[in-house]
Structure 1
Amino acid sequence: MPSLPSDRQSIPVGQIALMEQLGLSLPEPHVRSYIINGARRTVERPDRTEHFYPPQYLVGETVRDHLRFTLRYEAFDLRVLIAAFGQMGGGEIARWVMDEPTGAYSRRAWFLYEHFTGERLDLPDITMGNYVDALDAGRHIVATPVNSPRHRVRDNLLGTRDLCVTVRRTETLKELRQARLDLLAQQLITQYDPHTLARAVTYLYTKETRSSYDIEGETPSHDRFEGFVRVLREAATFTPTPEALVRLQNQIVDPRFAVSGVRDNQNYVGEATRFGEYVHYVCPKPEDVPTLMRGWSALTERLLNDPQIDPVIAAACIAFSFVFIHPFEDGNGRIHRFLIHHTLAKRKYSPPGVIFPVSASILRSKDKYDEVLETFSRPLLAHLSYELNEQWEMTVPGDTYPLYRAFDATAFAEYLYARVRETVERDLKEELSWITAYDDVYAIVTGVVDMPDRMARNLTRYFVQEGGRLSNHKRRQFSQITEAEIAEMTALMARLFRPERESGDTG
């Protein structure tokens, strides 16, 4: 047992201590625990959560002690546990189970060890005792459990041994889930007639397509643009098999860069500088992609079909894990965002036939999108090496698969939920309101003057854009219409825009 900490000292415990003791070269977990000479408290920082425990929580110095603490008290990062299992071997786990054959923590460690290493320890199956959860449902978002009779453990992981993410329960996610944005969207659209809704939805699909390409700084051809709109409209019926993903990639990229399967070369995300390439993200090695995609398919199937898992959290796990695998040479970002819509539609979170233009929200604050992606990519770069040749082709030495097969997806779930909230409360509402205002103004404009339809549409658009007024600059485009007629239109539509003007005057 280590000595008690002094007044100014803190002793690492749990998964952060496992990393130090076993010399694990990994990005540090979000949750970090310490023993202090003081009261129990938690400090939330942008990049980590620190738990401070009083001296009575002090444990021994063995790997088993810290593993027990992790399983008992922490919302842990599976990447740390998997790496720890690889370093410590099965002997320590077997001895722990033999010492405590019915212990909850020993059985959970045993299950996780065999599940992720694929090694079956020389231990008899457990035949008595209650089942325990692999993940603590009070600290993690969990799947509907599947019993593992050998360990008497309920497998409630979000993925499989090939690819598994974890999502911590946070106050942010709790508040966002309680907002019931799906019900808010449903209540909003029921206020409008089907024709108005259909016109709004058509625009929202166009807006999502344009924004998704704009995020990547691309200007697609008309055919590719319309093709992506069609793809989005079919998101609910899409089945994300390997073959379907390849067909999807072929539909949304330039035909010259269509693929027939996952990539077989080392890829990375970077930008050109005066002196070479600045690397933002190193993708998994090509030999690891088939295994990761097999894991992604299993994770996706589980999250799409498990009603216990929140649909927005499921969408974040599916979409972000896909983009981090980066299985294709081109189109990964657009497919990543398409998968968000696929999940929300498949899980019936977005109303039937309606799309939440998440990419528009991303585009409005692209710096935040880049920041959340960097919470995965930046720590990764510190724990792998790479080389670039004269053609800027990359090679990555060593075994890097452990860096990608498990990660904490909490930040991505929180980020996506915030984007969905903005699209429901802003984009969906604004578009429906705009179309309603447009129809009302169009009726006034054409009621005062019987004019060509294109002229009426343009005049209506300007009136709506300017809150029922017409600027002198725009007025010059309609010389055929008299001042008296413009004044009559303005007077008739004043009632439509008066609430906005009064609100603006008081603001």
Structure 2
Amino acid sequence: MIKNRFSQNLSTFHGRVLPEKEMMLSGYSALIDSYKLKVPLPEKLSVISKFHRRYENEQWSIYTPRHIPNASLSGHLTFALRYEGIDLAILNALFNIIDSKEIEKWVQQEPIGKYSRRIWFLYEWLTTKKLKLTDAIAGNYVDILDSDQYYIGLSKPSKRHRVRNNLPGVRDFCPLVRRTQKLDAYIKHDLRSIAFKKAGIIHRDVLARASAVLLLKDSQASFAIEGEHPGRNRAERWGRAIGQAGLTPLTIEELLRLQEIVIGDTRFVKLGFRKEGGFIGIHDRATGAPLPDHISARWQDLQILIKGLIQTENLLKDSNMDAVISAAILAFGLVFIHPFMDGNGRIHRYIIHHVLADHEFAPKGLIFPVSAVILDRIYEYKNILEAYSRPRLEFQEWKPTENGNIKVLNNTIDLYRYYDATRQAEFLYDCVHETIVKVLPKEIQFLQKYDKMKLAINEQFEIPAYKADLLIQFLEQNKGTISKRAQTKEFKFLTDKELKTLEKLYNNIFNS
């Protein structure tokens, strides 16, 4: 039995300061407290005030005395589903410790209740245990996820529970994304149509050249995010792989192939899924002990998690889920799992391209340089990654290994299966938006001006094409002037008057 009580002694809850002195935990906060659930807290929890004033702050939703739920498991689950939505991580942890008879009793008392039937379905879906209940024969079908609260997956009826399963994933991998004003505004803006419209009015030759430049730019940026600066051959090789995104289905074999391409020299890295622990962080300078910022999934769980991710990708492909939100769910899911010893970040960003191409979000053959935008937003990117990782560190027990790695000691698979991916989706949409409305037009405009400049040079001077390219390159590097070194070497044949004419021409075209 859960006790409903206003507590004068409760000033904080798991490190969060309560907004008032006397408050009552409700919904998920009450379930976490009563059942001592070891789960990352959702961004917002609910609490009841003694005052008749409904309000919110960054961490709490404050309800009035009229919202007080029944002091029972079913009462607080009903409150949670009604006001807080679905939190699969909390529900999964709860279902793993309660007596299944409590759910059976609730369903028997409320056989057509929309909350009891949803919890019944979620219990069996999450635990894979069938309750001792006969199939529902009455009650209107209800959705598991409220489409006003979440972006939903493909809807499939469950006759046993008389519900529609519209979860955007499968049991082994199912992050959720909440509906927000920001995401709704992006979806309404229809960036896909804008991208196709911009591409449609550009000469095909210019678009092809822009695509080639942006592809290399994205590849180089993806390495730079990892602190690497590869040679041109390696960057171009990975760029070619990115350029084929969406052509090959996402499978375990495909992920392994991509890792081999991105690593290149395999003498120093073991290819394939990890066979040991993994973390992101540093080592203590004095002791050499690991200091993790992120702990990867246990290597024993990788096959389950990656298979779940791939199944979810297939499910999302058949649904009406927005392409960018789908990409966020899958790409960030892979980097959080961190299945490889090396190459995770670049493959994570490859998956963004794969999903956008597979959903035909971008014009064929055009790769948005999302990695270049992420590189410009690197601190924001790191914060988005840490928003997932840091709250989970306290639930991961580990010990250091002799080789400076870590060994996870407890069961952590559910930390990677069920989480809120809303912040990651908003960040990715910011990056895609910037790519379409700023980066792509800027690159195309540059190429159009470049062609105009090259044509002007050819009209006035009989210079070989490669020399004209070099001349424009020097002007660009030196902000519209030709350096003294270039005047005395590569372009010593030009007169002072001709040099001034070229500089004026460049500035008129590029700075107009």
* TM, length-normalised to structure 2: 0.91
Residue in 1 that maps onto 2:95:
85
- CA distance change for structure 1 residues 30 and 398 in 2, over 3 Å: closer, same or farther? same
- CA separation of 1:259 and 1:273: change in aligned 2, threshold 3 A: closer
Q: Are the equivalent residues in 1 in contact too, given 2:238–2:261 (CA < 8 A)?
A: yes
1:42 to 56, 81, 84: 56
Q: Relative to 1, partners in 2 of residues 1:476 and 1:424: Cα closer, same or farther, differing over 3 Å?
A: farther
Secondary structure of residue in 2 paired with 1:224: helix
SS in 2 for 1:60: coil
Distance in 2 between residues matched to 1:487 and 1:284, nearest whole Å: 62
Shift in CA distance, 384/347, structure 1 to aligned 2, threshold 3 Å? same
Alignment partner, residue 262 of structure 1:
273
The letter for the 2-side match of 1:145 is S
What does residue range 292-307 of structure 1 map to in structure 2 within 5 Å?
292-306=305-319
Q: How far apart, CA to CA, are the structure 2 residues paired with 1:15 and 1:392?
A: 38
Cα distance in 2, alignment partners of residues 427 and 156 from structure 1: 36
Work out the CA distance in 2 between the residues paired with 1:328 and 1:129. 47
Q: 1:317 aligns with which of 329, 341, 345?
A: 329
Partner-residue secondary structure (3-state), 1:330: coil
Letter in 1 for 2:246: A
- Does the 8 Å contact 1:267/1:283 carry over to 2? yes
Aligned to 1:2: 4
User: Counterparts in 2 of 1:80-479, with a 5 A limit?
Assistant: 80-253=90-263, 254-256=265-267, 261-275=272-286, 276=288, 277-306=290-319, 308-464=320-476, 470=482, 478-479=491-492
Per mean C-alpha deviation after superposition, the further-off stretch among 407-416 and 243-252 is 243-252
Partners of 1:2 and 1:75 in 2: CA distance: 21
Contact 1:30 1:77 in 2 (8 A): no
CA displacement at 1:258 relative to structure 2: 6.5
Distance in 2 (alpha carbons) for counterparts of 1:109 and 1:496? 65
Give the aligned residue type for 1:394.
Answer: I
C-alpha contact 1:246 1:259 (8 A) present in aligned 2: no
Q: CA deviation at 1:404?
A: 2.0
Q: Shift of the alpha carbon at 1:173?
A: 1.1
Aligned letter for 1:252?
V
Residue 93 of structure 1, CA deviation: 0.8
Structure 1, residues 172-195: CA drift from partner, whole Å, max 9, x if none? 211222222212222222222011
Residue 449 to residue 399, structure 1, CA distance change in 2 (3 Å): same
**C-alpha deviation, 1:264, in angstroms:** 2.3
Give, as a single letter, the amino acid of the residue that structure 2 aligns with 1:80. Answer: I
Aligned-residue Cα RMSD (Å) equals 2.1
Q: Which residue of 1 aligns with 2:14?
A: none
Number of the residue aligned with 1:502: none
Q: Which residue of 1 aligns with 2:16?
A: none
- Give the partner amino acid of 1:20: D
CA contact (8 A) 1:24 1:84 kept: yes
Q: Deviations over 1:366-417 (max 9, x none)?
A: 1111111101111111122211033213222122222222111111101111
Work out which of the residue numbers 17, 27, 44 in structure 1 matches 2:40.
Answer: 27
**How many residues are treated as equivalent by the alignment?**
494
- Which moved further from structure 2: 177-186 or 234-243? 177-186
TM-score (structure 1 length as normaliser): 0.92
- Aligned-pair CA distance for 1:466: 6.3
Distance 1:177 1:211 in 2: 26
Deviation for aligned residue 1:41: 1.9
1:189 maps to amino acid: A
Task: Single out whichever of 480-489 and 326-335 deviates more from structure 2.
Answer: 480-489
Q: How far does residue 322 in structure 1 lie from its aligned partner after superposition? A: 1.0
* Counterparts of 1:464 and 1:328, CA distance in 2: 41
Paired position in structure 1 for 2:509: 496
The SS at the match of 1:382 is helix
SS at match of 2:148: coil
CA apart distance, 1:304 = 2.4
Q: Deviations over 1:436-462 (max 9, x none)?
A: 111111111222221233331122234
1:120: how far off? 0.1
- Report percent identity of matched pairs: 36
SS in 2 for 1:88: coil
For 2:415 and 2:506, the matched residues in 1 are separated by 61
Deviations 1:288-343 (A, max 9, x none): 2121122111111111232x100000000011111111122221111111000000
The alignment partner of 1:489 has SS state of helix
Deviation at 1:112, TM superposition (A): 0.2
Please give the alpha-carbon distance, in whole angstroms, between the structure 2 residues aligned to 1:497 and 1:224.
32
Letter matched to residue 42 of structure 1: E
The residue type equivalent to 1:162 in the other structure is: D
Separation of aligned partners in 1, 2:222 and 2:504? 41
Q: Which residue of 2 aligns with 1:505?
A: none
Task: Find the partner of 2:65 among 55, 63, 76.
Answer: 55
In structure 2, C-alpha distance between the alignment counterparts of 1:138 and 1:227, rounded to whole Å: 44
Moved more, 145-154 or 364-373: 364-373
Aligned-partner residue type, residue 135 of structure 1? L
Structure 2 stretches lacking a partner, 5+ long: 9-19
Shift of 1:491: 4.7
Residue by residue over 1:232-283, the C-alpha shift from the partner in whole angstroms, topping out at 9 and shown as x without a partner, is 1110212111112112211221223566642222222222341223212111
CA drift at 1:483: 2.2
